[in-house]
Amino acid sequence: MSADLRDLAQGFGLLSEPTRLGILSLLAKGPRNVTALSKGLGLKQPIVSHHLAVLRMGRLVNGKHQGMAVQYSTDKANLKALASALAKLMPK
């Protein structure tokens, strides 16, 4: 298996968890902190923080410190690259 296919599988593995998809859905509307994400998802903050950490390690989410809080946003370039890689698998 090529490294590209392994990277693609890893990226889709990150998206295979409903909480992570929910986080990305909320972040697609604009940056949010963990409190806003927790409220929007109806989940406890430690659970959301865990999934944010996984998404950050997978480079699908970025975090930027603003005062005491961290504002999270999607990493548009990496999400576009993942979508582009999927499109290449589609028959023409």
Q: In this structure, is residue 91 part of a structural domain? A: no
- Tell whether 28 is covered by a domain: yes
CB 14 within 8 A of CB 60: yes
CATH number for the domain including 31?
A: 1.10.10.10
Model confidence band, residue 60 (pLDDT cutoffs 50, 70, 90): very high
Q: Are 48 and 36 in contact (CB under 8 A)?
A: no
In whole angstroms, give the CA distance from residue 67 to residue 80.
Answer: 30
56: pLDDT confidence band, cut at 50, 70 and 90? very high
Within a domain: residue 37?
yes
Predicted structure pTM score: 0.89
**70 lies in some domain:** yes
Mean local confidence (pLDDT), 26-50: 98
Is the residue at 67 inside a domain? yes
- Number of structural domains the chain divides into: 1
12-44 core/surface letters (b: 16 or more CB in 10 A; e: else): eebeeeebbebbbebbeeebbebebbbebbeee
Q: 18: domain range?
A: 3-85
